[in-house]
Structure 1
Amino acid sequence: MNPVTGRIREVLADAGAEGWVHAVQLGAANSREIGVGADELVVTASVYKLPLLVALCRAFDAGSLDPRAAVRIDPASGTRGPTGLSTFLDPVTLSWRDLAASMIGVSDNTAADVILAEVGLDAVAATLADLGLSQTRVVGGTADSHASLVRDLGAASAAEAFALLADNDEVRTVSAYAPALASATTPREMTRLLGLIWADAAASPAQCAFIRRLLGNQVWLHRIRAGFPFRGVRVAGKTGTIGAVRNEVSVVEFDGEAPVAVAVFTFAARADAALPTVDAAIAECARIAVTDLRSGRL
């Protein structure tokens, strides 16, 4: 076993989680890469918001959607969640691009479902196909995922479903955990998507710059960003969480060096609302992979 991949597997095992990882240098000749199950299908959770964002930005490029157009949203009819518009009590008006900022910056569920309803699953699928991401699919938004949990668990509401899912005294089999049934991807395809964004090839250069800006403004510091707590490094990415699933895909940039795209997907033995040990393992897996790609040795 490669010592780097062996160490990654040890970190995940110590955290009580299965994991799938891919990391690759971007824009470098003969780029090196690190992979642990890099081509296996994994559940995206809210990482699906990244290909959705790309599809939205391609709609901006095509002129089929005005990024500055006003959208009025009543949060009472939106998808519940702990952040963004999902927590609001009163109707608000935002532009499409500001909705996208909330969708990525704080993983806003309501914003994401409003965007998906406008863009459409067919456009997301066409975007993925055009970019050569044949293993990645988006089958629905956050509202669809919550509805499937309610059905699978026989719950009366999404809140009750999440409470049942977090009960570690019972084994729960739900479609949200099954890559064959939920929105899914592979770690390698997510680093490829990040590479296309950083190369201005996923959409127009202006829209790719917009995507990079939004990913750089993500507020969460507890996963990949926690692996690089020092100056001279920038981390831009998107998290995903549902029950025992905890993920993040990011680009890590050190001053004067080629960026490194890294994707870490995990499935924990527990489904607590907070699993800081698994979050820390995601950070450590990213740190190990990025350090090796930067230096060629640990």
Structure 2
Amino acid sequence: MRAAAGRIRAVFADAGCTGRLHARRCDLGAAGEGPPGGGAEIEVDGRARVVTASVYKLVLLVAFCRAVEAGRIDPVARLTVDPAECTPGPTGLAALRDPVTMSRRDLATSMMTVSDNAAADVLLGEIGLGAVEELVAELGLTGTRIVGGTADVHRGLLRDTDTHTTAEAFAALADNDEAHTVSAYDPAYTSATTPEEMTRLLRALWAGRVLSPAPTAFVRSVMAAQVWPHRIAAAFPHRGVTVAGKTGTIGVIRNEVAVVEFPGEHPVAVAVFTHAARADPTLPVVDAAIAEAARIAVTALRRPLDPAAAPEPDTCR
């Protein structure tokens, strides 16, 4: 594990970014149960606090499912959202032209599969920030704090960059000739977590210890349907391998948390959070570093479900 951690640090250094990672094998029994601490772990500064960016949507999704279980929210009730009045974003509702009517459950699906900012803020308004805070406290995620939605982040960016529109704010962030100190980059001022707490949450979700079976299956399915192939999923293009993840991106921040499942093996939860030295809107080298770091960690932790069985060949090299 120490050798793997050293290789991961080198990957981040070569990509020109600060990287923090935690991965743990989810040693689950036949009924999905297992020891609360999970299986073997590997980390690179995995207990440091980091900016969540859109990874917060995973916590919001779980809080939404909890509200559905408690009968406070009807998941199939329909809401009408006007794109002209919703949170800006490159995907989902904000990319449309006309008002859209859809169920809360479909809003949650859009929030996760294409990282729909507008859908996320609608759902946050439906369940309330208090419900998210209660979930975090109940799960003992003491290093995790969700302070608001994407609209709140955007308001902070306008203030910190002294701009008037979200487009202007992001253009300012992408200028490598200007050094902007913004609250969205500081875990002390924005929604934050630790890589270890995210893999702990994922492990508990996969074990069925957070939600009942139906919402657990829903969470796993929408995470597996995420459309972005350029980070953790890029490390595991093999047939039969499932990567259920959630990305997060804002300016120099690029993240992803995921559960990687090889057939006949224990799932492995992995969380990678990076802070790039450059501010370019696209940084394929950092995306590739996230993939490679995840590949190294998951490869080190892979084990067959049957402990008596011989390990499968390493197909991730």
Q: What TM-score do the two structures reach when normalised by structure 1?
A: 0.98
Give the deviation of 1:90 after TM superposition.
0.5
5 Å-filtered alignment, 1:98-113, equals 98-113=106-121
SS at match of 2:302: helix
User: Please, what is the CA RMSD of the aligned residues?
Assistant: 1.4
- Residue 104 of structure 2 corresponds to which residue in structure 1? 96
Q: Tell me, what secondary structure is at the counterpart of 2:200?
A: helix
Partner of 1:129: 137
Matched with 1:56 is 64
Alignment partner, residue 10 of structure 1 = 10
8 Å Cα contact 1:200-1:209 kept in structure 2: no
1:258-294 Cα shifts (integer Å, max 9, x gaps): 0000000000001211110000000000000000111
Map residues 144-293 of structure 1 onto 2, 5 A cutoff: 144-293=152-301
Q: Given residue 167 of structure 1, which amino acid in structure 2 is its aligned partner?
A: D
The partner residue of 2:74 within 46, 58, 66 is 66
Deviation at 1:123, TM superposition (A): 0.5
Amino acid at match of 1:10: A
The percentage of aligned residue pairs carrying the same residue is 62
SS at structure 1 position matched to 2:237: coil
| CA deviation vs aligned residue, 1:236-259 (integer Å, no higher than 9, x gap) | 010000000000000000000000
Q: State the secondary structure of the residue aligned to 2:178.
A: coil
Q: What is the CA distance between 1:232 and its match in structure 2? A: 2.1
- Tell me, yes or no, if the aligned pair for 1:49 and 1:104 is still in contact at 8 Å: yes
Separation (CA, whole Å) in 2 of partners of 1:198 and 1:116: 23
Corresponding residue SS for 1:55: helix
Mapped to 1, the partners of 2:200 and 2:216 lie a distance apart of 14
Partner AA of 1:48 in structure 2: Y
Residue 140 (structure 1) aligned with residue 130 (structure 2): no
Letter in 2 for 1:121: L
How much has 1:27 moved relative to structure 2? 2.4
Query: Hey, what's the Cα distance between the residues in 2 that align with 1:42 and 1:119?
Result: 25
Kept in 2, the 8 Å contact 1:139–1:183? The answer is yes
Amino acid at match of 2:285: T
Q: Pick from 119, 133, 137: which aligns with 2:127?
A: 119
CA distance in 1, matches of 2:44, 2:274: 11
Residue type of the partner of 1:19?
A: G
Q: Which runs of 5+ in 2 are unaligned?
A: 29-34, 304-310
* 1:79 and 1:143 in contact (8 A); partners too: yes
**How many corresponding residue pairs?**
298
1:101-158 C-alpha deviation (Å, 9 max, x unpaired): 0000000000000001111111000011111111111101001101100000100111
Whether contact under 8 Å (1:75, 1:87) holds in the other structure is: yes
- Partners of 1:49 and 1:294 in 2: how far apart? 27
1:43 to 42, 51, 63: 51
> What TM-score do you get using the length of structure 2 for normalisation?
0.92
Give how far 1:81 is off. 0.7
How far apart in 2 are the matches of 1:45 and 1:271?
15
For 2:157 and 2:299, how far apart are their aligned partners in 1? Answer: 38
Q: Does 1:83 align with 2:118?
A: no
> Aligned partners of 1:208, 1:86: CA distance in 2, in Å?
28
